[in-house]
Structure 1
Amino acid sequence: MALPSTIYKVSIQLSDVDRGIYESLQATVAKHPSETNERLVARLLAWGIFYEADLAFTKGICATDEPDIWLTGPDGRVMLWIEAGLPDSDRIVRACRHSERVALLASGKALSNWDQQHLSKLGGLSNLTVVSLEQLFINRLADMLERSFDWSMTITEGTVYLTVNGDTLETSINVKYGTLTVG
């Protein structure tokens, strides 16, 4: 018998000063049994960092033909494809062919190996942005994860300030490829 997904209720007060976005975000997000808390946190951070109106979580890990988060147009075209983690470069190249824009929050324990193996294969993809955050930042947030939580997330001058349970953490957004811009 398969284990059920764990449901999280999320509230994020987003202040992206760099892009002039100020929103109250609410979501109910499912964490697949094979997904780590760190990957769930990375998906939520990617949602905030790349936020645009109508951005939606997909079926996630269970749907291999969908990203973690996306923005689709009225005609069904994928306007923005967002991944979190360390996907294969072939998956990112395919996404770039079929989407207007692709963004990746590269995160995981093997990030430096992933950089060496995959970043060079992504050259020439003009619609791709790859960023990373300090893994210790993600790990600390994963340790603080509860089934229902509120984050206050401020992004300014390429730095993320995140307040949860009265503690404020900060990390720089490391742009590895492309640029962090409004769509």
Structure 2
Amino acid sequence: MAIGATIQTFEVQLADVDRGVYEDLSLRVAQHPSETDAYLITRVLAYALEFEEGIIFSAGGVSTGEEPAVMIKDLTGDILAWIEVGAPDAARLHLGSKKADRTAVYTHREPAKLLASWKGKTIYQAQDIVVRSFDPRFIDSAAKELTRRNTMSVSVTEGQIYLEINDTNLETEIHQHQIG
């Protein structure tokens, strides 16, 4: 018998000063058995940092052939934002960039290696895709704090993220990278 997804809950207080977004979020997030805690925390942070009306997690938790890990749709079902997590291949970025108005990648991987893997590959409007990364120690420390029920405070100001997760305080710069 296959093991199903584990449901993690997150009570998130979001204060993104840089974007003027202030929300209290209650998230039930399915963690696929193959999904690492580092990927999960990066996915939840991507959701918080991209939060706007119409944002959703993909059905399977991890990116599938048809959907990114996180996306934003309008009321008609059109995809406004295709948000990948981890280390998507160039073909996925190409597909997402063609399907959505904007595309972003949030990675817990080494960004230089990720960018190098896309070099010379065809990616639609690659110059418009923003790649964001965090200090690996930040993601690893946050992942160690995960439980089935999580409380988080996410504050963003001047490109710096301040995270309180289950009474542990962490901070890092949000690094931005361009493809090409």
Residue type of the alignment partner of 2:100? S
> Aligned with 1:140: secondary structure?
helix
Count of residue pairs the alignment pairs up: 177
Alignment deviations for residues 120-152 of structure 1 (CA, whole Å, 9 cap, x no partner): 645843542111111111111111100001100
Contact 1:13–1:24 (CA<8 Å) still a contact in 2? yes
Mapping of residues 36-75 of structure 1, within 5 Å? 36-59=36-59, 60-61=61-62, 63-75=64-76
Alignment deviations for residues 54-102 of structure 1 (CA, whole Å, 9 cap, x no partner): 2111113373210111111222210111111000012101110111111
**Per the alignment, do residues 119 and 73 of structure 1 end up closer, same or farther by CA in structure 2, a change over 3 Å counting?**
farther
Mapping of residues 16-95 of structure 1, within 5 Å? 16-59=16-59, 60-61=61-62, 63-95=64-96
Tell me how far apart the structure 2 counterparts of residues 113 and 125 of structure 1 sit (CA, whole Å). Answer: 16
The aligned counterpart of 2:177 is 176
Structure 2 regions of 5+ residues with no counterpart? Answer: none
**Per the alignment, do residues 162 and 119 of structure 1 end up closer, same or farther by CA in structure 2, a change over 3 Å counting?**
farther
**Per the alignment, do residues 32 and 175 of structure 1 end up closer, same or farther by CA in structure 2, a change over 3 Å counting?**
same
The aligned counterpart of 1:133 is 134
Aligned CA RMSD, in angstroms, stands at 1.8
The aligned counterpart of 2:158 is 157
Q: TM-score, normalised by structure 2?
A: 0.91
Alignment deviations for residues 26-66 of structure 1 (CA, whole Å, 9 cap, x no partner): 11010001111110001001011111122111113373210
Structure 1 regions of 5+ residues with no counterpart? Answer: 179-183
Tell me how far apart the structure 2 counterparts of residues 33 and 42 of structure 1 sit (CA, whole Å). Answer: 16
Contact 1:154–1:160 (CA<8 Å) still a contact in 2? yes
Tell me how far apart the structure 1 counterparts of residues 137 and 129 of structure 2 sit (CA, whole Å). Answer: 25
The aligned counterpart of 1:113 is 113
Tell me how far apart the structure 2 counterparts of residues 68 and 58 of structure 1 sit (CA, whole Å). Answer: 5
**Per the alignment, do residues 144 and 72 of structure 1 end up closer, same or farther by CA in structure 2, a change over 3 Å counting?**
same
**Per the alignment, do residues 119 and 14 of structure 1 end up closer, same or farther by CA in structure 2, a change over 3 Å counting?**
farther
> Aligned with 1:61: secondary structure?
coil
Contact 1:100–1:127 (CA<8 Å) still a contact in 2? no
Q: Does 1:96 align with 2:97?
A: yes
